[in-house]
């Protein structure tokens, strides 16, 4: 078994890849470039590739299949950026990573608390040497209702932590978790929208969840509600979000993901005009926090993400299947 790594980052991944390669005996090659039709040939002679948050379409997958690649390993929990239909037709096996839920859950809680305490506006005022209290009155999380949409490992951890801080927590999920139910009260989606002071999204990107937050659902929310999204950008209709903020229906939003983030996040675009008007509008709002899809980005997560790839391939080498495998 030989592994080829795309979107390889020496600064934080090299040590992990080197260590797990020695431990498992699986050699690897790497490029900092993302997978594209032009870079697909770099995987010649390798049995598996691993990718990270860049679109992997049929043309790339066909190129790998012709080279004899058998496994496509996402170094992320989500794998919606991989064309699974093409993988199925080409006979490619796909796996995804698992990492501790604390990184994203704690980041989401931090963003919620920053919005509640008016931190974005306060920091903006500090830069202008405005040290008054005007416009800076915040709210305590312990006096709020937090709505968690998606109560898997991350949503459950967020609910646990928010509950420990005194918040009332409502949850919605198609599949209710007994573990999460110890820290939240399950409710209808309508009730979560209607009663939550803060709504935090932790559901996957699916056709059913596309634009879950839209003009109609924003209209059903409490006046002055806050929205936190550390899941996937297409869960929110960005134009509807902007309108809700402009009209004052929403008090603020914290977004670690955006609808059109591919080609922007993880790039150094200093001095480059960025062709994303929605992001430019959101950046202009004093009650909006934007971060570049880094909620997962902790030392613990990077270790676990790389470990997941090698664990899957080690098991596959033995003819076993892994819990990380995507059912195509």
Closest C-alpha to 91, from 113, 116, 71: 71
Kindly provide the residue ranges of all beta strands, DSSP E only, lying in the chain, ordered along the sequence: 3-5, 28-30, 48-51, 71-74, 93-95, 145-149, 168-172, 185-186, 198-201, 225-229, 250-255, 288-290
Phi-psi domain of 291 (left: phi exceeds 0; alpha: psi -120 through 50; beta: other): beta
From the candidates 96, 251, 293, 303, give the one annotated as an active-site residue: 293
Judge whether 139 counts as a catalytic residue. no
Burial class (CB in 10 A: 0-12, 13-18, 19+), 272: exposed
From the candidates 13, 16, 261, 307, give the one annotated as an active-site residue: 261
Q: Which helix (H) or strand (E) holds 299?
A: helix 299-317
Tokens 């990184």: give the residue: 103
Tokens of 142: 């312990």
Judge whether 260 counts as a catalytic residue. no
Judge whether 185 counts as a catalytic residue. no
From the candidates 75, 153, 202, 232, give the one annotated as an active-site residue: 232
Closest C-alpha to 115, from 288, 235, 295: 288
* Active site positions, annotated: 232, 261, 293
């Amino acid at each position: 078994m030989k592994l080829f790594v795309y979107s390889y980052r020496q600064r934080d991944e090299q040590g992990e890849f080197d260590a797990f390669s020695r431990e498992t005996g699986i050699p690897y090659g790497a490029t900092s470039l993302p997978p594209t039709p032009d870079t697909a040939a770099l995987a010649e002679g390798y049995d598996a590739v691993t990718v990270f948050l860049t679109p992997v379409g049929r043309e790339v997958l066909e190129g790998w299949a012709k080279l004899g690649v058998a496994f496509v390993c996402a170094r992320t929990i989500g794998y919606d950026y991989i064309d699974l239909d093409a993988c199925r037709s080409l006979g490619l096996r796909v796996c995804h990573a698992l990492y501790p839920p604390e990184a994203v859950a704690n980041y989401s809680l931090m963003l919620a608390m920053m919005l509640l305490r008016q931190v974005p506006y306060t920091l903006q005022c500090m830069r202008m040497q405005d040290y008054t209290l005007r416009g800076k009155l915040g709210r305590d999380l312990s006096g709020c209702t937090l709505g968690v949409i998606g109560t898997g490992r991350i949503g459950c951890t967020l609910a646990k932590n928010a509950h420990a801080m005194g918040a009332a927590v409502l949850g919605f999920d198609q599949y209710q978790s007994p573990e999460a139910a110890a820290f939240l009260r399950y409710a209808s989606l309508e009730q979560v929208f209607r009663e939550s002071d803060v709504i935090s999204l932790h559901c996957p990107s699916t056709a059913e969840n596309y634009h879950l937050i839209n003009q109609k659902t924003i209209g059903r929310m409490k006046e002055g509600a806050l929205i936190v999204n550390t899941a996937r950008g297409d869960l929110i209709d960005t134009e509807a979000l902007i309108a809700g903020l402009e009209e004052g229906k929403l008090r603020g939003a914290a977004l670690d993901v955006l609808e059109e983030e591919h080609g922007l996040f993880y790039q150094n675009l200093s001095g480059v005009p960025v062709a994303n008007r929605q992001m430019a509008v959101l950046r202009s709002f004093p009650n909006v926090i934007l971060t570049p899809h880094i909620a997962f980005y902790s030392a613990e997560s990077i270790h676990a993400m790389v470990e997941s790839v090698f664990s899957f391939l080690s098991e596959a080498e033995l003819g076993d299947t892994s819990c990380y495998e995507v059912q195509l």
